[in-house]
């Protein structure tokens, strides 16, 4: 029986079923795991359920999201500083799930009293090297950890791209509220469910800013088959859930992700009975199902009954195989410059110079990070009769329109400098 991990009710409707992968690191080569994505019919929460609780892998493998400073941190730091009602001489900040400390280091350099908790031991070791005077612990954030400091200890608590990973999101938010001083602020960043489709994403050009493209949203988020993402929030649902748990939202922004700040207050509604959110998220998921069918069919028409080779044997190739192999799209071979593996997902792995001998009709560059360069190299070694596409081009060939009920969600609520 499925149970909503936000309100605890069992009246849920499954919208998507399939198999996805868990990726804690680039080297992960696990088999697809059965999953379901459901909408709670009481509170409207959209959540994924998996055959096994795999959150233990956060401590067994290093989940590295970023090991360097990023340009978007400038805007996020501004967002945090602007959201503080006043600045103590040395504000005390806690980041839950700080990874390797790239963001927390910004506040460390500003003179904040920095604390953090992170499940990956090697991540913590790397962060300590950058911030020797910070208090950084290995482990999972819970009420027991809060007791070490006592209630109302922190001026700032940050969960940046963390809440979507947690099966106990409600408990974590409640514990985070207890950590905060009465005038403190909780700052959240979560992927925005309303931006999960290629139709709502930015063009491929600025994809480095967002860290993803239409391609990645198609494979991981619209299919909702990214095992680490358990919770899926929209701006209205996040605001409502925070309110119910005693965290009044003070500021939000939509920049592909939902950015939100909140301050402790008395819970407004602890019942989590939100029929309007149920209707909104159900309508959204119905739209996604129809859109996925259209995209899948369009791509199938492009690839079926053609001799197909791929260039790029990394993570995106595995996503490609997961989606299209069950639909009967066979790959003759996958080329890889490093030739690290004899075969990948049951497909022969060859050197790029050997692609032509398979006499392909079409070659798809299945490595997002370097797809433009890989496609150019493929064109240089293949005859003009062979069509060469990147995965992003393959996705973007199919025009999709934004449904009217989501248009309001597309505009930023708050304009941020540098965003």
**Per-residue pLDDT tens over the stretch 39-69:** 999 999 999 877 666 666 666 666 666 565 5
How far is it, in rounded angstroms, from Cα 107 to Cα 346?
47
CATH of range 304-396; options 3.30.465.10, 3.40.190.10, 3.30.540.10, 3.40.50.720? 3.40.50.720
- What average pLDDT does this structure show over 238-258? 88
What is the C-alpha separation between 10 and 280, in angstroms, rounded?
19
Domain spanning 72-192+233-273 has what CATH number?
3.40.50.150
- Strands 46-50, 333-335: parallel, antiparallel or unpaired by DSSP? unpaired
Q: Give yes or no for residue 243 having a pLDDT over 90.
A: yes
Strand partners, 348: 343
Q: Which residue has the higher pLDDT, 372 or 228?
A: 372
What pLDDT score was predicted for residue 165? 85
**Which carries the bigger pLDDT value, residue 170 or residue 89?**
170
Q: Write down the domain spans for the chain.
A: 72-192+233-273, 304-396
Give the H or E element holding residue 319.
helix 315-324
Find, among 382, 356, 357, 366, the residue nearest to 329 by Cα.
366
Model confidence at 120, pLDDT cuts 50, 70, 90, reads: confident
Q: Is the pLDDT of residue 409 over 80?
A: no
What span, in angstroms and rounded, lies between the C-alpha atoms of 373 and 365? Answer: 9
**d(Cα 358, Cα 253) in Å, to the nearest integer?**
49
Nearest to 407 by CA among 287, 273, 249: 287
CA distances from 340 to 8, 354, 365 (A): 46, 15, 17
At 205 the pLDDT is 43
Q: Residue 151's pLDDT band (boundaries 50, 70, 90)?
A: confident
The stretch 365-391 carries a mean pLDDT of 88
Query: Is 72-192+233-273's fold the same as 304-396's?
Result: yes
Q: For residues 309 and 329, is the Cβ–Cβ distance under 8 A? A: no
Is the separation of the CB atoms in 271 and 179 below 8 Å? no
Q: Is the pLDDT of residue 127 over 80?
A: yes
Flag whether pLDDT at 96 surpasses 70. yes
Contact 392, 203 (CB under 8 A): no
Largest separation between any pair of C-alpha atoms in the chain: 69
pTM over 0.75: yes
Contact present, 288 and 222 (Cβ < 8 Å): yes
Q: What is the mean pLDDT of residues 196-210?
A: 42
Res. 272: pLDDT tops 80: yes
pLDDT tens per residue across span 332-357: 999 988 766 677 778 999 999 999 99
In this predicted structure, the answer to whether residue 410 has a pLDDT above a threshold of 60 is no
- Name the band, by pLDDT with cuts 50, 70 and 90, for residue 415: very low
Q: Please give the backbone phi and psi of residue 356, each rounded to the nearest 5 degrees, phi first.
A: -60, -30
Q: Assess whether pLDDT exceeds 70 at residue 196.
A: no
User: What average pLDDT score do residues 121-132 get?
Assistant: 93
């Amino acid at each position: 029986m499925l149970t909503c991990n936000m309100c605890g009710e069992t009246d849920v409707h499954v919208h998507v079923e399939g198999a996805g992968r868990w990726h804690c690191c680039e080297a992960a080569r696990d088999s697809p795991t059965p999953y379901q994505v459901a909408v709670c019919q009481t509170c409207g929460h959209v959540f994924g359920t998996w055959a096994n609780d795999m959150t233990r892998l956060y401590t067994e493998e290093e989940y590295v999201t970023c090991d360097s400073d990023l340009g978007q941190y400038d805007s996020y730091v501004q967002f945090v500083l602007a959201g503080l009602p006043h600045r103590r001489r040395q504000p005390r900040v806690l980041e839950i799930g700080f990874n390797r400390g790239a963001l927390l280091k910004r506040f460390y350099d500003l003179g904040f009293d920095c604390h953090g908790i992170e499940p990956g031991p090697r991540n913590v070791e790397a962060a300590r090297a950058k911030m020797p005077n910070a208090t950084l612990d290995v482990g999972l954030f819970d009420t027991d950890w809060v007791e070490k400091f006592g209630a109302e200890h922190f001026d700032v608590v940050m969960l940046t791209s963390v809440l979507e990973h947690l099966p106990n999101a409600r408990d974590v938010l409640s514990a985070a509220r207890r950590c905060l001083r009465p005038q403190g602020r909780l700052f959240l960043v979560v992927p925005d469910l309303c931006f999960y489709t290629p139709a709502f994403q930015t063009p491929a050009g600025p994809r480095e800013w967002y860290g993803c493209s239409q391609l990645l949203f198609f494979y991981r988020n619209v299919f909702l088959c990214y095992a680490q993402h358990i919770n899926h929030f929209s701006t209205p649902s996040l605001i409502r859930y925070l309110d119910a748990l005693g965290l009044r939202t003070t500021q939000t922004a939509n920049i592909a992700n939902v950015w939100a700040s909140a301050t402790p207050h008395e819970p407004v509604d602890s019942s989590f009975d939100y029929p309007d959110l149920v209707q909104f998220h159900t309508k959204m998921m119905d739209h996604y199902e129809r859109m996925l069918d259209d995209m899948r069919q369009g791509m199938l028409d492009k690839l079926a009954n053609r001799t197909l080779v791929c260039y790029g044997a990394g993570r995106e190739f595995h996503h490609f195989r997961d989606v299209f192999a069950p639909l009967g799209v066979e790959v003759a071979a996958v080329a890889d410059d490093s030739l690290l593996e004899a075969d990948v997902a049951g497909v022969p792995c060859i050197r790029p110079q050997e692609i032509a001998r398979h006499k392909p009709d079409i070659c798809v560059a299945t490595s997002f990070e370097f797809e433009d360069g890989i496609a150019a190299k493929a064109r240089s070694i293949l005859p003009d009769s062979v069509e060469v596409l990147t995965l992003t081009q393959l996705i973007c060939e199919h025009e999709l329109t934004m449904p009217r009920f989501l248009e309001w969600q597309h505009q930023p609520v708050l304009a941020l400098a540098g965003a």
